[in-house]
Structure 1
Amino acid sequence: MRLDPSDLDSALKRLRRAHGQLGAVIRMIEEGRDCKDVITQLSACSSALDRAGFSIITTGLQQCMTEDNPDREADLAAMEKLFLSLA
């Protein structure tokens, strides 16, 4: 199933945020920063990635449910599998 990029604005914002956070984690490690600070930033990055993934899956599920989709059952099963891979 292909998703319209314009429907994924919130996911893209989260991914950009995660990208910045990951860059910060790398810099912190290179600078020898405190372990607690590194892990806190890494946790924030991980959370942003998870939320982006769930947002993308939610968009896909909405398309499965609202469009006249001949492959609806297969698409729903695929979305469920993707959801479980993030859980």
Structure 2
Amino acid sequence: MSSIEANIGQSCHTSERTSHHSEKTKQNLQSRLNRIEGQVRGIKGMIEKDAYCDEVLNQIASIQSALNSVGKILLEGHMKSCVIERIQEGDHAVIDEILTTMNKLMK
């Protein structure tokens, strides 16, 4: 059983939905987001120093890729826990919810 599956016990469909990530997953996500935050600050510095546009654009592409990775981790955990749990409980509205979310991620 994966760490994601081990955390399914927490409710995903209450009026105040909360995440269900293990501490290891949270630390991984926080570490990734801290790096992304640093990259964004780096781009600000590059612009202040009039860095060559292509270099800035390459850094932006790197940040977008890093954010996509964070999104994939969150999406996988969500689908393996909350979505499955809600479908098993007969709440099929979660399918429309996840489709809307995926459309936003793919823009």
| TM-score of the two chains, using structure 2 as the length reference | 0.66
For structure 1, which segment, 39-48 or 4-13, has the greater mean C-alpha deviation from structure 2 after superposition? 4-13
1:72 Cα deviation (Å)? 4.0
The structure number with the bigger radius of gyration is 2
Structure 2, unmatched stretches of 5+, are: 1-11, 13-17
Q: Could you list the runs of 4 or more consecutive aligned residues of structure 1 that deviate by over 4 angstroms after TM superposition?
A: none
Q: Whose helix proportion is higher, 1 or 2? A: 1
Paired positions, count? 86
Of 8, 12, 30, which aligns to 1:12? 30
Q: 1:80 aligns with which of 67, 88, 99?
A: 99
1:23 counterpart residue number: 41
Partner deviation per Cα, 1:39-83 (whole Å, 9 max, x = no partner): 111111111112212221111101022x37536422232122111
> RMSD value over aligned CA atoms?
2.1
Give TM-score, length-normalised by structure 1: 0.78
Q: Is the 8 A contact 1:14 1:52 kept in 2?
A: yes
